[in-house]
């Protein structure tokens, strides 16, 4: 299913993740720390702009390649994978897909080298699933837009230098996106949120108080925000499914190791058929999620992607990841419930996957809508 190039990429990221990302993962989770230095190191692999051309410092890979990066990072530290996704897909891929040449030349090289950290701000305190109802306004005065409003739950927001921000630029849901730099006047970082999981990926509120944004920082064309949002969301849903697969893979690996070592009633618990059922179910779910996600990625790469396919892999991979983590905790018994083992972290991280990038309920609404429209 994977080309030689994809296999090579997967192996490279796995080796990097084991060496650089795994060692600090548990400590970062414990103290809700963030490790921006990891961005420089991922940048040195050429993967911060994994989907964009080499002339901007990117990795020139496809959506399937980006998904594999998420999977391998997600397998050792889902928080790092989430921050990497916000940077490489929501910001970098977005600017490349929707920006003009001047914007690409100005922003992409520093984002690809890791000199600058990226984020994307769509969600607001009162508008999550109903993102199109956003209230942040951008008003043109002379050569500058003045942005006023608040954004909520923004991954990397505390540390981001370059943020793609969605705001209303007219009536009737006319939305545009803007490239905002953290040094722009009127921009400030609000409260960092304390979270159940994904604790090593910083999430915060952003405040725009007549934030001055030059006219040339409208990403692409004015009022194009909704189309841009739709295009990027499909890519986000597919690539984020890679993180779910990585978490489920880690849950299965840890469960297998434990089932072989832990003895009860004089034999390894892996000999008990009720434990074997849990392992077999985890494997089956994982392989099904992987196949569906790779298929959605390949369809997107071939220009045949659809919202229903992207949403299907998002909803399935995220829900089986949570279930796989619950099984892993059950297999590890009391130890699985304690922080000396990683599986409780996997579960806390997995739950976010059913919420971020559109909840499972919203994905199902989208799938049903598209199915009904095509009279299937
Ligand atoms: C850790 C984290 C990181 C995030 N990172 C980012 C980021 O980088 N950038 C960004 O812009 N956003 C980000 N988000 C926001 C995320 O995308 C939203 O949380 C998500 O879209 C849900 O919105 P909400 O939390 O406001 O929930 P709500 O929309 O208020 O939903 C609450 C409940 O109602 C249900 N519901 C809502 N509408 C419907 C409907 N039509 N039918 C059925 N059920 C419905 C939902 O499924 C959910 O169960 C992040 C969130 C988290 C927690």
Is 236 annotated as catalytic?
A: yes
74 HSE (CA, 13 A, CB side): 29
Q: Which of 124, 224, 236, 319 is catalytic?
A: 236
Three-state DSSP at 81 gives helix
Please, what is the end-to-end C-alpha distance for the chain in angstroms?
28
CA of 323 to the centre of ligand 1 (A): 20
Q: How far apart are CA 376 and CA 372, in angstroms?
A: 6
Q: At what angle do helices 78-85 and 343-353 cross, to 10 degrees?
A: 30
Q: Which domain holds residue 331?
A: 226-373
Of 57, 174, 42, the closest CA to residue 106 belongs to 57
Q: How far apart are CA 139 and CA 185, in angstroms?
A: 15
Tell me, yes or no, whether 135 and 68 share the same domain. no
**pTM exceeds 0.95:** yes
Tell me, yes or no, whether 301 and 253 share the same domain. yes
What was the pLDDT predicted at 376? 54
Tell me, yes or no, whether 27 and 68 share the same domain. yes
What was the pLDDT predicted at 374? 80
Per-residue DSSP letter, 218: B
What was the pLDDT predicted at 40? 85
Contact 154 CB / ligand 1 (< 6 Å): yes
Tell me, yes or no, whether 112 and 136 share the same domain. no
* Helix H or strand E encompassing 182: none
Among residues 167, 189, 223, the one where a domain terminates is 223
Tell me, yes or no, whether 288 and 203 share the same domain. no
* CATH number of the CATH domain containing 351: 1.20.140.10
Return the ligand 1 atom nearest residue 130 CA.
29
* CATH number of the CATH domain containing 61: 1.10.540.10
For ligand 1, atom 27, name the residue with the nearest CA: 128
Contact 193 CB / ligand 1 (< 6 Å): no
Among residues 83, 117, 151, the one where a domain terminates is 117
CA of 101 to the centre of ligand 1 (A): 33
What was the pLDDT predicted at 375? 56
Tell me, yes or no, whether 105 and 136 share the same domain. no
Q: How far apart are CA 319 and CA 338, in angstroms?
A: 23
Tell me, yes or no, whether 151 and 275 share the same domain. no
Locate tokens 């890519």: which residue? 235
Tell me, yes or no, whether 268 and 159 share the same domain. no
* Helix H or strand E encompassing 155: strand 144-155
Among residues 117, 134, 167, the one where a domain terminates is 117
Q: How far apart are CA 369 and CA 357, in angstroms?
A: 18
Both structure tokens of 138: 């951008």
Contact 259, 279 (CB under 8 A): yes
Tell me, yes or no, whether 357 and 269 share the same domain. yes
Tell me, yes or no, whether 20 and 152 share the same domain. no
CA of 186 to the centre of ligand 1 (A): 26
Per-residue DSSP letter, 127: B
User: How many residues in the chain?
Assistant: 376
Of 66, 80, 61, the closest CA to residue 22 belongs to 80
CB burial class (10 A; 0-12, 13-18, 19+) of residue 371? exposed
Return the ligand 1 atom nearest residue 119 CA.
8
Contact 97, 229 (CB under 8 A): no
Q: How far apart are CA 319 and CA 321, in angstroms?
A: 5
Tell me, yes or no, whether 142 and 102 share the same domain. no
For ligand 1, atom 40, name the residue with the nearest CA: 362
Contact 129 CB / ligand 1 (< 6 Å): yes
Query: Which parts of the chain have pLDDT scores under 50?
Result: none
For ligand 1, atom 31, name the residue with the nearest CA: 129
Tell me, yes or no, whether 16 and 30 share the same domain. yes
Number of structural domains the chain divides into: 3
Contact 197 CB / ligand 1 (< 6 Å): no
Three-state DSSP at 138 gives strand
Phi then psi dihedrals of residue 239, to 5 deg: -70, -35
What was the pLDDT predicted at 232? 87
> Max CA-CA distance within the chain?
79
* CATH number of the CATH domain containing 165: 2.40.110.10
Q: How far apart are CA 279 and CA 283, in angstroms?
A: 6
């Amino acid at each position: 299913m994977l080309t030689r190039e994809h296999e090579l990429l997967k192996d490279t990221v796995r080796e990097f993740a084991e060496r650089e990302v795994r060692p600090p993962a548990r400590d970062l989770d414990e103290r809700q720390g963030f490790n921006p230095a990891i961005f420089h190191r991922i940048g040195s692999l050429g993967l911060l702009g994994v989907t964009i051309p080499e002339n901007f410092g990117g990795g020139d890979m496809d959506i399937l390649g980006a998904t594999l990066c998420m999977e391998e990072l997600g397998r050792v530290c889902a928080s790092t994978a989430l921050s990497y996704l916000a940077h490489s897909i929501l910001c970098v891929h977005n600017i490349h897909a929707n920006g003009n040449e001047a914007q690409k030349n100005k922003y992409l090289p520093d984002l690809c080298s890791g000199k600058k950290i990226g984020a994307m701000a769509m969600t607001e305190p009162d508008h999550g699933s109903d993102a199109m109802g956003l209230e942040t306004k951008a008003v043109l005065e002379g050569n500058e837009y003045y942005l006023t409003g608040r954004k909520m739950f923004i991954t990397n927001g505390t540390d981001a230098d370059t943020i793609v921000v969605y705001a209303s630029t007219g009536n009737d849901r006319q939305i545009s996106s803007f490239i905002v730099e953290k040094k722009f006047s009127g921009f400030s970082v609000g409260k960092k949120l304390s979270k159940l999981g994904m604790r090593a990926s910083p999430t915060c509120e952003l405040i725009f108080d007549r934030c001055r944004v030059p006219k040339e920082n409208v990403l692409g064309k004015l009022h194009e925000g909704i189309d841009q949002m739709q295009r990027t969301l499909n890519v986000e849903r597919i690539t984020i499914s890679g993180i779910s697969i990585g978490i489920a893979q880690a849950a299965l690996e840890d469960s297998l190791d434990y089932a072989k070592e832990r003895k009860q009633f004089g034999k390894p618990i892996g000999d008990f058929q009720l434990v074997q059922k849990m392992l077999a179910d985890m494997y089956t779910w994982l392989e099904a999620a992987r196949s569906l996600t790779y298929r959605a990625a390949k369809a997107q790469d071939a220009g045949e992607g659809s919202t229903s396919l992207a949403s299907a892999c998002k909803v399935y991979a995220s829900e089986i990841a949570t279930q796989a983590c619950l099984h892993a905790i059950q297999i590890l018994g009391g130890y699985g419930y304690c922080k000396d083992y990683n599986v409780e972290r996997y579960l806390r991280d997995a739950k976010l996957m059913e919420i971020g990038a559109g909840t499972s309920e919203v994905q199902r609404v989208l799938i049903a809508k598209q199915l009904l429209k095509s009279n299937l």
